[in-house]
Amino acid sequence: MRSAVEDRLVVLISEISEVPAEDITADTPLEDLGFDSLVLVELAMKLRKEFGVVASDEELDEVETVGGLLRFATRARSA
């Protein structure tokens, strides 16, 4: 079961990628959702606005899956 933060993050990913949230799993590669460097910049802005998470391009480039992004955002919020 996902937390409210995880649910909101999946919705943000869905909005950006235009893939239905119910089709997005933790194992979904961000590349499969069409995430490139420009999309990652948009995601970084949304992470800051929605969650107060500051993510550099380099940090986001290292994230490969939705689950990895969820873990990154959760850790960053806790820091």
Q: Smallest Cα–Cα separation from 69: which of 49, 34, 45, 40?
A: 40
* Catalytic choice (7, 36, 57, 61): 36
Tokens of residue 37, six digits: 């460097």
Query: Whole domain around residue 41: which residue ranges?
Result: 4-78
Q: What's the number of domains the chain is made of?
A: 1
What pLDDT sits at residue 78?
72
What pLDDT sits at residue 58?
86
pLDDT tens figures, 56-77 = 888 888 999 999 998 988 888 7
Q: Residue 48 is part of a domain; what is its CATH number?
A: 1.10.1200.10
Tell me the pTM: 0.85
Active site residue 36: yes
pLDDT tens figures, 17-59 = 999 999 999 999 999 999 988 898 898 899 899 888 888 888 8
3-class secondary structure, 43: helix
DSSP 29: B
Task: Name the more confident of 11 and 76.
Answer: 11
